[in-house]
Amino acid sequence: MRYSGKGIDSGADVTKPATRIVELEDNELEEFVEIYAERKSKDYVEVERVGAANDKGRDVIGFLSRARHEGEWDLYQCKRKTRGSKLRIGEAMTELGKVFHHHAAGAYATLPRRYIFVSPRGIDGSLTTLLQNPSRIGKALLEAWDKHCRTRITARNPVELTSEIRASIEGYDFTAVECLTAPKLVKDPAALPALVQVLGLPPGEAPEGETPDEVSDTELTYLTQLQEVYAGSAGSDFATLEDVFTDPKFGEHLRIQRQRYYQACAFRDFHRDNTAARSVDVFKNDIYHLLIDVYNEAHPSPLARIDAVMKHTGAAPAGILGTLARPPVKQGTCHHLVSDGRIRWNP
């Protein structure tokens, strides 16, 4: 299996992770979908997992505004099927019927913008055909109401097809209804955080960082200290960073440090998005412990200390979830520690 910063590479064998998704328990599947939804749409102001005995037809919700159920929202309905069965049209009609019933009962003022069945094992042929022809879904739901909805929506009383429910069904745009299967999820880059956090799969290689031409304000702490170190080594002041960049001796050294800094930024951002939240902090602390003994040794000059720390840290193994970081990532993380105030390049 191959992973990259964009998820599973095109052409990779998705069988094993897809099988793992199929094997998830109900609560694990809902957790997977919750994490997936959080990454899938940056439009959501909140993702909420509701799934419970009285979830009113909702497992995971993505709210597009603080208006919540009075505004636009997306619904992810998880259908974990046992004994190898696929989601069939009867159960799908029951789940859709719940939404229109609870909408009419006032549980939510608006109907979902998107309705996504999450059925890891897939859907049967008749349901596939129906979803591929969304203009037929409303009619099919009305015709199936007595058989699949009337006595199946609640355990207490039959739910009659009232004129209000009928009007909601007839007015709904059923192009909003779709289905996600395990293979589809695995191929979606947005599923990578869930694959890592729920299934425990390795996140793969972080993308390489790109170093911008312009210096960012976030760099000023470590760059200012490097500027002072270079000035001390040169025996004369560098009035600006530009003076350092144009210096024949120190300019290339400084450019390399910036490249390392941004390699570490890309690594940090990738793992912060795709692994457990504290993994990046643990990695950074590991780098601190890798360098601190060398850092505290006596060195001929501050520049010699920097070079010794870079050489040692670049060669020492460190990573996240079994994925080793490349040398420039580890070296760039040293500059992040300077920015955090944990070490100084110019004591």
pLDDT digits (tens, 9 = 90+) for 148-173: 999 999 988 999 999 999 999 999 99
Is the pTM higher than 0.85? The answer reads: no
DSSP strands (E only) in the chain: 3-4, 7-8, 46-49, 60-63, 73-78, 114-118, 177-180, 319-320, 323-324
Position 84 in a domain: yes
CB atoms inside a 10 Å sphere around CB 172? 21
Q: Provide the residue range defining the domain that includes 271.
A: 217-339
Position 211 in a domain: no
Taking alpha carbons only, the member of 43, 327, 19, 30 closest to residue 201 is 19
Q: Do 141 and 186 fall within a single domain?
A: yes
Answer with the one of 197, 230, 252 that is the final residue of a domain.
197
Phi, psi for residue 17 in degrees, rounded to 5: -65, -35
Residues 117 and 95 sit within 8 Å (Cβ to Cβ):
yes
Answer with the one of 141, 167, 197 that is the final residue of a domain.
197
Q: Do 223 and 156 fall within a single domain?
A: no
Count of structural domains within the chain: 2
Q: Do 178 and 242 fall within a single domain?
A: no
Whole-number Å distance between alpha carbons of 78 and 344: 51
Paired tokens of 30? 């809902």
Position 54 in a domain: yes
Paired tokens of 313? 């840290």
Position 55 in a domain: yes
The pLDDT tens digits of the residues spanning 225-237 come to 999 999 999 988 8
Residues in the chain: 347
Whole-number Å distance between alpha carbons of 257 and 227: 12
Average pLDDT in the chain: 92
Q: Do 187 and 226 fall within a single domain?
A: no
Position 206 in a domain: no
Position 240 in a domain: yes
Q: Do 107 and 154 fall within a single domain?
A: yes
**pLDDT, position 5:** 43
3-state secondary structure of 160: coil
Q: Do 172 and 250 fall within a single domain?
A: no
**pLDDT of 6 over the 50 cut:** no
Angle, helices 137-144 vs 163-171, to 10°: value is 160
Query: 4 has which bridge partners?
Result: 7
3-state secondary structure of 173: coil
Taking alpha carbons only, the member of 308, 304, 267 closest to residue 291 is 308
Q: Do 126 and 59 fall within a single domain?
A: yes
Q: Do 178 and 249 fall within a single domain?
A: no
Q: Do 257 and 305 fall within a single domain?
A: yes
Position 210 in a domain: no
Whole-number Å distance between alpha carbons of 269 and 208: 11
Answer with the one of 164, 197, 230 that is the final residue of a domain.
197
**pLDDT, position 3:** 43
3-state secondary structure of 123: strand
3-state secondary structure of 119: coil
3-state secondary structure of 38: helix
Whole-number Å distance between alpha carbons of 45 and 307: 45
Whole-number Å distance between alpha carbons of 219 and 258: 8
Q: Do 11 and 143 fall within a single domain?
A: yes
- 184 burial type by CB count under 10 A (0-12 exposed, 13-18 middle, 19+ buried): middle
The pLDDT tens digits of the residues spanning 249-305 come to 999 999 999 999 999 999 999 999 888 878 999 999 999 999 999 999 999 999 999
**pLDDT of 9 over the 60 cut:** no
Position 205 in a domain: no
